[in-house]
Amino acid sequence: MEPQVSKIERAEVLVSSPGRTFVTLRITTTDGLTGLGDATLNGRELAVASYLRDHVAPLLVGRDPARVEDMWQYLYKGAYWRRGPVTMTAVSAVDTALWDIKGKAAGLPVYQLLGGRSRDGVLVYSHASGTDVPSLLDDVERHLELGYRAVRAQAAVPDVGGTYGVRKGRIYEPAATDLPEEQPWDTEAYLDFAPRYLEAVRERFGFGFHLLHDVHHRLTPMEAARFGRSIEDSRLFWMEDPTPAENQEAYRLIREHTTTPIAVGEVMNSIWDVQHLITGQLIDYVRTTVAHAGGITHLRRIFDLAALYHVRTGSHGATDLSPISMAAAVHLDLTVPNFGIQEYMGHAEETSEVFRSGVTFADGYLNPSDEPGLGVEYDDKAAERFPYQRRYLPVARRLDGSVHDW
């Protein structure tokens, strides 16, 4: 009698809001193994949930969970409509869940299946912010005391009602309102103020740690070039998303005017979206994430391409990604030769009630669990206490009332 081959028995889409909304895919095989994937798309969560529940889950039942690459190609090419954040987030969730199952079937953590360690730990950065310069400096100090070796710094622009990146509570969570909060934005005020507070951070704490800053797509290419040049003495690890990247040639203009390193890619979903940025050496760090760029399988392709052009990794890892994504990212980060840094923010306490994390933080580094698979668990009973709540990211408006780019 031939041995029975494990098949996918069911695929469940789980939506809960423990501190913020997460969409989780759980795949179960006929031999009882389960795999988890993160299908969260900030502010468009239910679109991905429907894509998975109504269109993808029925395709999975009866298929071999070990054929991870084949499943990726099947879901990507078979849909005809390719790429885009909803499709790629759904594909990412399936891919991540299958890697989780593969690790459990092999009795190994996922990073061992990816080739084993290339480093002893994954360097991370967290977010410091303040309503003014003194409170920002206090928050940077707090993060350094917690052991972080890299800190992102953002401060509220004076006399501007809302500024991206400033934490309102213990956890930074911009998607906090039932309908989008509309925040004012003043580019000139920002360009005058941000270099001053970055310089203040260096004056107080020196250069013994990495300093990062997120522009969040809000400048034109020439404004970004001006900004990058103005902060060169602060020796940033990177300036993130200086201008929208739909026009990728814009990054060549920025590159020609400043030596400040550039990071971009968290809103990009495939290797084709970042191909020109990488091959043209227009960026220094690619920020694509395991949850939105096709899972471990496709993200590894992006990182391999980046390695050929001396571009390092710096994956998005904010609170809009669940602990499943963070664990998957760290398993991959640990193995790739061109790793740069990993964004890492603490989740709300409610999130930790639903998800058992698969990573640990110590002395500025993350390490994954050595349990088989990703080492993450999902608590259904805890999730029942946190039903879905609609939450949106804020929308920026210029002082003349027109909608500003992210």
Catalytic residue among 76, 148, 164, 190: 164
Based on the residue annotation, tell me whether 55 is a catalytic residue of this protein.
no
* Strand 377-378, strand 150-155: pairing: unpaired
Q: Which residue has the tokens 């360009």?
A: 191
C-alpha distances out from residue 220 to 216, 227, 258, Å: 11, 10, 14
Based on the residue annotation, tell me whether 197 is a catalytic residue of this protein.
no
* Strand 262-264, strand 238-240: pairing: parallel
Q: Are 400 and 185 in contact (CB under 8 A)?
A: no
Catalytic residue among 216, 292, 298, 316: 216
The first and second tokens of residue 393, run together, are: 């990211």
Task: At 350, give phi and psi (nearest 5°).
Answer: -60, -35
Q: Are 332 and 324 in contact (CB under 8 A)?
A: no
Q: Are 90 and 51 in contact (CB under 8 A)?
A: yes
Helix (H) or strand (E) holding 355, with range, is: strand 355-356
Please list, residue by residue across 240-268, b when 16 or more beta carbons sit within 10 angstroms of its beta carbon and e when fewer do: bbbbbbeebebbebbbeebebbbbbbbbb
C-alpha distances out from residue 393 to 164, 165, 174, 330, 371, Å: 10, 12, 6, 26, 35
The one-letter amino acid at 339:
F
Q: Which residue has the tokens 């879905």?
A: 388
| Residues belonging to the active site | 164, 216
